[in-house]
Chains A and B, each alone.
Chain A
Amino acid sequence: MHVTTDFPFELFTELSVDPELGAEAIHRESVQSDLGELVEETFVGGVLADAFPTHPGGVRVDITPVWDQEPRARALEVRITEQDGEGRSFTRRFETGRWMRRAQRKTEQLVDEGTLEEGVRTYVHLLAEGKDNPPELSLPALQAPTITEQSLDEFGVRELGDGEFCPDRPVLVNERMLEEILSHTEEAGAEETGGSTLGKMIKLDQPLPGTSTRIVTVLSASLMDARHNGTVARITFDPAALQEAAQVAQLRAKGETVLTAFHTHGWGTECGQCNQNTGCTLPSATLVSLDDYQVLECLFPSKATLMPIAGRKLGAPGTRPVLEIHAWRGGRMVSIPWRTYGD
């Protein structure tokens, strides 16, 4: 696919303890290379929203700073336009990105070193500085996710269950898989657990009711494996176990792959009111940690990846864990609604 772009800026971040632009920076770095993942997310988002063909001949990428106080940008807007065919376009706005996560790591490092006091508030200024000869944008090859044209019935979806759809990213979760994940979460308690999650992206003839895209992501089965090493607040995924899960997916012969991995953020076994206890120190399933982002960057680098996290959610009804499914939205993972299905 031929990609043309023109971005007459160089992007930097400045880390400061002062919210005002122009204050002394405690750290400054070029973040031009972070633009690639914004373009990828916009392209994949457009394909999943059914706004693009999966293999356009060529696209034009326009990246525009949304100024807060020039040269400080409050966001970047990425617009991708199909150069041939119908000339369709898709736009996504990014108020955050990999630069923010790096700034958070840097803040932690400065606190550890003693350069910054613990608890001090820091600010990240995203600066788009106009350049006559800006550094060339290095964009990774834009690849559409693997999507199979099929009906839900052919895949084995017999009936839709509870929940609701995100209109431009409908997700279906197998009821039995959901129950297994919630049971494992309860059994593991404060220690984290997790496993491979098989699934498939399917293109239907028509969008499901309440949705605007024909592409549905089905999470169909989870595979636990004792080689994934869970402790309190951490789980390390074992590559050999993940690879074996990929072989199981092949044996099932339904066209699934290991689309992602689920993990838990711990579950209380003592107070019995995990979803109501405001003083609980276990992290919520609604939060995606910096470690979780590293899994997304390295193990499941596609911007189509969903991250299922089970655990507590303040205010959720009932006394059982909840499953939160996070999807890429504007440079970060955001929890989206989903529905169950029976097979």
Chain B
Amino acid sequence: MITTSRIRFSDLSQQKRFSTDLTDELTVDHNVDQAIEHFLEQIGVPENDLPWSAYSRGVRLDKRTRLGDLPEQDADWTVLPTVTAGGAGASTGPSTGPSTG
């Protein structure tokens, strides 16, 4: 099997992108979970204690998988969290919350 040597990350909207060779800060010995963490740090997105997933070719990657064990075709990742939106707490939003004094 030919394994991947470079990973191209993006968020769901494909507006935030980052790519890296697996030779420097991220190596073949890191796993998917660590790679997600690295991507978020690079693009300045807080983890916020949310469950994060990475998808490649429409399939969710196992977080424990070693990057060196990923096939070459799994080089393009979409990284996204499970996150909740909604009107709860809207009344304490920026328009009505603490004001700049």
Q: Spell out A's residues near B (CB within 8 Å).
A: 15-16, 19-21, 36-37, 40, 68, 72, 74, 95-96, 100-101, 103-104, 107-108, 121-126, 140-141, 143, 145-146, 192, 194, 233-240, 242-244, 246-247, 257-261, 263, 265-266, 282-284, 287-292, 294-295, 297-302, 304-305, 311, 332
Collect the chain B residues with CB atoms within 8 Å of residue A192's CB: 85-87
> A141 with B95: in contact, given A289-B88, A294-B83 (CB under 8 Å)?
no
CB < 8 Å A-B pair total: 185
- Are A290 and B15 closer than 8 Å at their CB atoms? no
12 contacts between A and B (CB under 8 A): A104-B97, A121-B98, A126-B100, A236-B82, A237-B83, A237-B85, A239-B82, A242-B80, A244-B58, A283-B88, A291-B86, A299-B12
Interface of chain B: mostly helix, strand, loop or mixed: loop
Query: Contact string, B1-28, partner A, CB cutoff 8 A, digits 1/0?
Result: 0000000000111111110000000000
Shortest distance from the beta carbon of B54 to any chain A beta carbon, whole Å: 10
Given the complex, which residues of A lie within 8 Å of B78, measured CB to CB? 243, 246
Instruction: Count B-side interface residues using an 8 Å CB cutoff.
Output: 41
Residues B62-93 near A (CB distance < 8 A):
78, 80-93
Nearest-neighbor residue (CB-CB) of A261 within chain B: B85
> Which chain B residues lie closer than 8 Å to A140 at the CB level?
42-44
Tell which of A40, A68, A289, A294 touches B48, judged by Cβ atoms closer than 8 Å: A294
Asked if B15 and A305 sit within 8 Å, CB to CB, the answer is yes
Say how far A297's CB is from chain B's closest CB, in angstroms: 6
Q: Which residues of B contact A (CB under 8 A)?
A: 11-18, 42-46, 48, 50, 53, 55, 58, 60, 78, 80-95, 97-101
**Which chain B residues lie closer than 8 Å to A95 at the CB level?**
100
Please classify the interface of chain A as helix (H, G, I), strand (E, B), loop, or mixed, using the class held by over half of its residues: mixed
The answer to whether B93 and A257 touch across the interface, beta carbons within 8 angstroms, is no
Of the candidates B80, B81, B82, B92, the one whose C-beta lies within 8 Å of that of A104 is: B92
